[in-house]
Structure 1
Amino acid sequence: MKKAILVAIGFILYGAAMWYYLMHGAQADLPVQFRGSAADPTMFMNDRQLKLSYDFSRIKDWIYFLSVPLEWLIYLLVLGFGISKKMRSTVKEVTRFSVIHTALYVLLLSFLSWILTFPLRYYSYTISRDYHISVQPFKGWMKDSLIDFWVGWIFTVLTVLVIYFFIRKSKKKWWLYAWLISIPFTIFMYFIQPVVIDPLYNKFYPLKDQVLKEKILTLAERADIPASNVYEVNMSEKTNSLNAYVNGIGSNLRIVLWDTTLDKLNDKQVLFVMAHEMGHYVMKHLYQNLIGAIILSFFGLFLGSRIYSWAISKWGKRWGIKGLSDIAGLPVLLLIFSLLSFVAGPVENAVSRKAEKDADRYAIEMTKNPDSAVGAFQQLTISGLSEVNPPKLVKFFLYGHPTMLERITFLDSYKHKYEPKELEKAKKQQR
């Protein structure tokens, strides 16, 4: 109990330190050379928007930096207080079938975690509502949260069943067999995501604006993307933020626009955004992400298996865990994978930022319209209350995209390449 109190005090002090850093200590002033440029937020945001952007971004960043260690603390709490072994004993009293034991144990652990993290997730939701990023009623937010819970439970049960099956078969090579099974499963998930998972949360329908649809499909044809339709999704029921994407593989490829993007961007800006998303497809980023996920899972499972064996041998008896194949050890495994994912996050972010910049380059070279490109990102900044130049620590851990400062500055530099040609073309048309 004393250790638990000390851990709780440590977590509170950590939260206070992160709050001070983000609100007062972090340096994120715009460099002098960019002041007055297209990337300077004072050039396209009013004082109120600047204030809201700063406050909203820093609070959301703080919530992230709290949520990650909170997950770790929950797993340690479940282990340290003997809750895991009690849940194992409880589910074994229900039935003699091990598959049901696993499903019920995962349900209890997931529910406990869901309850303990609910206050922070609800606070994040209310902040988004207060700053008018989210417009989703509480009922709709709860519905999505419950869908998240049950979808997550199903996939966790399947994953745990596979992992513990192989642990029982081979305590040394279970990670390799689990990884081999994960490959077709990961590919399958990429394939069904647009047509099975995404529609659980939102309604998708063909783009209503036929003129814009033809422009986008023409752009797709130029990019050699085999798309016959463009989809619109009713995100305005939930948010004021903007987005668009191309996802799925094979016959399930989808070009999707949020209706908020259609409402707040003009056609040229939308075409730039879509050209960016198409750039991901053309440069095979979707398949690179798939391969990257498979490679990372290989190393994650390998390292995880080694750390798991060490942790069980060192603390297993204290936690009431009878061996590697004991379901009561699941919080240990989840804690390890969460820690490994956190460590790998900055590397994944760096790779993602490179891909995003390549997609920006592809889009600007396809559309040849720097003004629309810059205008699109300025509007994205306003609508999402994004911080143009976030603190380095935030960028390191959270940013899978270049900062708005980097993106707008990069795209604005293309004015020297394309604007003279466009002006000359306009003059000829006037003559």
Structure 2
Amino acid sequence: MTERSKAGGRPRIAASVTAAGLFGAVAVVLAMTTPWNPLPGHVPGGRVEPDPALDFSPSEIARSKAFDSAVNPPAYTGLVVGLVVIFALGFTPLGARFIGWVTTRTHRRPHPPRGDDPPHPPERLRLRLWRIIVATMALTTVLRVAGLPFDVWSESVLRRYGLSTQSWPSWLVDQLKSLGVTWVIYTIALLLLYSVVRRFPRYWWTGAAAGGFLLVVLVSFIYPIAVEPVFNKFHSLPEGRLRTDLLAMAERDGVPVEDVLVADASRRTTSLNAYVSGFGSTRRIVLYDTLLKSPPARVESIVAHELGHAKRDDVLYGTLVGALGIAGAMCLLYLLMTSPRLLSRAGVAPTGPPAPTGPRASTGPPGRGRSGGAADPRSIALVLALVAAGTQVGAPVQNLVSRRIEARADAHALNLTRDPATFVSMQHELSVRNISDLNPDGMEYLLWLTHPSGPDRIAMARTWARMHHVPEPPPLR
């Protein structure tokens, strides 16, 4: 092995070790901090097993099954088609050819070079940035268009079951807003990534890992004030008994909450929901305006759940663990994007030799004169395909951890309100109004479910009642 090949292998070894260390750290953190048993301790009479028939009428169960059967086909088909499209673009030369075609037809030089002279360095930089921007917007648009028929199909199901209140023009505007947000986030991320790749061709994984970590934290922090208002209008919960009781409950719980916001969700849905987002100065507890029509005790129960997230800083925890995982993913991305076989399969030439010296040589820093490889904007399709694959692989773990964290927030709500009967009635109302799946199968748990099912949450409330020697909520039927 030559000295040059040894030197070329050192970054890959370092990236491999770092990726293994970061993923190992994520695994250890999740194993040690995930609340695998949110209700530890002895349960007199044993734990209550979930049983939809105890609390849901036959017609409610039948409606849930019918809705699940109607909404699953577009969800599964859309997922498969989306993966097929991005994998076809990323793992074959189709994506590189498409990017080459679209960037060639959209770029217009303000001052064409004379004769055979290459573009000057500032123009080369503008050209590279323009190609990245155009490629990112074109690819994400193609993916959105490919999934649009299935989104329309899903929206039709929601309308048929009374869950959607939007007109088609309003729905289309939301789709365009979502695409615009995707353009902004992906463009910024890819511009930063490809800048690091060109600046540090051998060790770009270090900058990408650090930048990915920081970008995830930044996006999570600013999301409530920069992205959420794009889709909803928010106002403070009006003065009154409910607001006073909710803020008093937060104070009693030791959770600093300056305000409780209400989102105008009713303009697009009839479903009930509440959530907590952001952290630090951007943390907020948000209620859907549809939820305010529920009895105050039920609203307090669901806000107590959100206070559980806030007290445990679940958003910050998830952000930091996710950022750590992204940092490891950037190291893995480096290993894959420096594979000559994978690059060739994607229609991107491996990194070429340094640019020639002489009067036409680049005056930029060493390494920037290399062509092809991960620095080639045509590899963006491959990057997006690898991101899609990684996201799909990690989804079951994320969903599993999320369900346990949600169960811990449920336990917090029960400890705070000490009212399992209201908790049960609230979960019943949520499940019926949202037409939740009352008996999800294994595939749905793996791919979609970030929360326990309604019957699971109701069974947990009855288990909590047994543990704390309070009256166990009777069946609702």
Which TM-score tier does this pair reach, normalised by the shorter chain? 0.7 to 0.9
* SS of residue paired to 2:232: coil
- Counterpart Cα distance in 2 of 1:202 and 1:80: 40
CA deviations on 1:113-148 (whole Å, 9 max, x unpaired) are 222221111111111111111111111111111111
- SS of 2:227's partner is helix
Indicate the residue corresponding to 2:32 in structure 1: none
1:243/1:258 contact within 8 Å kept: yes
Aligned mate of 1:313, from 337, 341, 354: 341
Contact 2:233 2:264 in 1 (8 A): yes
Counterpart of 2:453 in structure 1 is 403
Q: Distance in 2 between matches of 1:64 and 1:421?
A: 41
Q: Contact 1:91–1:105 at 8 Å: present in 2 too?
A: no
Q: Is 1:378 matched up with 2:428?
A: yes
Aligned counterparts of 1:133 and 1:197: Cα–Cα separation in 2? 23
- The aligned residue for residue 196 of structure 1 is 226
Give the structure 1 partner of residue 401 of structure 2. Answer: 351
CA contact (8 A) 2:61 2:438 kept: no
Q: Does 1:241 align with 2:255?
A: no
- C-alpha distance in 2, partners of 1:208/1:422? 34
The count of corresponding residues between Structure 1 and Structure 2 is 385
Question: Residues of 2 paired with 1:74 and 1:422: CA distance?
Answer: 51
Does the residue aligned with 1:246 lie in a helix, a strand or coil? strand
Structure 2 residue 423 is matched with structure 1 residue 390: no
SS of the residue corresponding to residue 319 of structure 1 reads coil
Q: 1:59 aligns with which of 70, 83, 87?
A: 70
Residue 369 of structure 1, CA deviation: 0.4
TM-score by length of 2: 0.75
Could you say which structure has the higher helix fraction? Answer: 1
Local SS of the residue matching 1:324: helix
Alignment CA distance shift 1:160-1:340 (3 Å)? same
Compared with structure 1, are the counterparts of its residues 42 and 221 closer, same or farther at alpha carbon in structure 2 (3 Å cutoff)? Answer: same
Letter in 1 for 2:300: L
Q: Which residue of 1 aligns with 2:412?
A: 362
| Inter-partner Cα distance in structure 2 for 1:300 and 1:80 | 23
Q: Which residue of 1 aligns with 2:390?
A: 340
Aligned to 1:261: 291
Please give the secondary structure, in 2, of the residue aligned with 1:380.
Answer: helix
Deviation at 1:396, TM superposition (A): 1.9
SS in 2 for 1:289: helix
2:161 aligned with 1:131: yes
Q: CA RMSD in A?
A: 2.3
- With a CA cutoff of 8 Å and minimum separation of 6, indicate the structure with the bigger relative contact order: 2
Return the alpha-carbon distance in structure 1 between the equivalents of residues 414 and 54 of structure 2: 22
Q: Deviations over 1:203-256 (max 9, x none)?
A: 101112621011110111112222222111111111111111122212222121
Q: Contact 1:233–1:256 at 8 Å: present in 2 too?
A: yes
Task: Map 1:292-311 onto structure 2 (within 5 A).
Answer: 292-310=321-339
Deviation string, structure 1 residues 141-199 (Cα, Å, up to 9, x no partner): 11111111111101111111111111112334222202212333322222222222111
d(CA) in 2 for partners of 1:352, 1:335: 25
Bigger mean CA deviation after superposition, 390-399 or 47-56: 47-56
Percent identity between matched residues is 23
Tell me which structure has the larger Cα radius of gyration. Answer: 2
Unaligned runs of 5+ in 1: 1-36, 424-431
Decide which of 177, 185, 201 is 1:147's aligned counterpart. Answer: 177
Distance 1:38 1:204, change over 3 A: farther
What pairs up with 1:19-38 in 2 under 5 angstroms?
none
Alpha-carbon distance between aligned partners in 2 of 1:177 and 1:318, rounded to the nearest angstrom: 24
Distance 1:124 1:421 in 2: 41
Which residue, out of 319, 326, 340, partners 1:290? Answer: 319
SS of the residue 2:258 aligns to: coil
| Distance in 1 (alpha carbons) for counterparts of 2:347 and 2:185 | 26
Of 288-297 and 203-212, deviating more is 203-212
Alpha-carbon distance in structure 1 between the residues aligned to 2:132 and 2:109: 12
1:271 to 288, 300, 306: 300
1:211 equivalenced with 2:241 (yes/no): yes
The answer for unaligned runs of 5 or more in structure 2 is 1-47, 111-122, 350-371
SS at match of 2:287: strand
Distance in structure 2 (CA, Å) of the matches to 1:381 and 1:287:
28
1:395 Cα deviation after fit: 0.8
Distance 2:450 2:345 in 1: 41
TM-score by length of 1: 0.83
